Amino acid sequence: MYQFAYHRPGSLAEAEKLFSAAEDPKFMSGGQTLIPTLKQRLASPSDIIDLGGLKDLAGISVADGVVTIGAATRHADVASSAEVRKAIPALADLAGWIGDPLVRHRGTIGGSIANADPSADYPAAVVALNATVHTTRRTIAADDFFTGMFETALHTGEIVTKIAFPVAAQAAYEKFRNPASRYAMVGVFVARTAGGVRVAVTGAAPSVFRQEAMEAALGKSFTPDAVAGIKVSPDGLNADLHASAEYRAHLVTVMAKRAVARANG
């Protein structure tokens, strides 16, 4: 790991101030992606601004049909929240399938979505549930938030503060895990929302995306059979030593079928 200066601000305002004063700073939340990245010398920030001291950023509340999760809320706390389990069980399931129990004790939802790893689980929930991302400067709609591989609509120095998930009539997540990393080789989140059926796919492409053909088919009939015949094109999908683009395309349909079956459970 290269050297860096470390800061632990006590407020968001202080965090932003430290960020603007530093040469090449990086915010850190749970550190479960950033620290491994630093250890491999794949990143060399001049300053790490640890948001771990901002206790107000963590917490879960459910009101008026919306589950609001603070950015610093750890995966383990979302997975074990009785409130989340009752309102959007698929979201609690998803959180409980991230990494392993030890990673879930440190990793946070805000860190996960700000990092926008193409194989991360939370982006699928944010997009399928049509969540709203709140930041230090504005609110960002789910469809506008994820813009590419490790790229989001966040501006330099902008911090995610909370994510608001509208409660869906039905929702479920299914993922085909990489057995070593636990990341999604393909993950599909389906949701029957106020604005219609939404299907979000993670792990398959450089960034989470919506599968419109499946959304249309599930809008007519919310059954596994409705998506079983939909063939996904491998064009533009990820190919690596774990899976070819063709295999990932195939898995999108399989995971979608399983997710709908789980939602109808």
What number of residues does the chain have? 265
Asked whether position 94 contacts another protein by CB under 8 A, the answer is no
Which stretch, 33-41, 59-67, 206-214, 219-227, contacts another protein (CB under 8 A)?
33-41
Question: Please, what is the minimum distance in Å from the beta carbon of residue 199 to another protein?
Answer: 27
- Binding-site size for another protein (CB under 8 A) equals 29
Q: How far is CA 80 from CA 25, 61, 93, 174, in A?
A: 33, 14, 9, 18
Question: Please, what is the minimum distance in Å from the beta carbon of residue 206 to another protein?
Answer: 23
β-strands 25-28, 47-50 pairing: parallel
Q: Got the DSSP string for 142-176?
A: HHHHEEETTEESPPTT--EEEEEEEPPSEEEEEEE
Binders of another protein among 63-92, rule CB under 8 A?
76, 80
Identify the residue among 17, 85, 182, 210 touching another protein (CB under 8 A): 182
Q: Are 262 and 172 in contact (CB under 8 A)?
A: yes
Q: Are 107 and 98 in contact (CB under 8 A)?
A: yes
Closest alpha carbon to 73 in 105, 101, 31: 105
Asked whether position 103 contacts another protein by CB under 8 A, the answer is yes
Asked whether position 19 contacts another protein by CB under 8 A, the answer is no
Asked whether position 220 contacts another protein by CB under 8 A, the answer is no
Asked whether position 51 contacts another protein by CB under 8 A, the answer is no
Question: Which residues of the shown chain bind another protein in the complex (CB under 8 A)?
Answer: 1-6, 8, 31-32, 35-36, 38-40, 48, 50, 52, 76, 80, 99-103, 105-106, 180-182
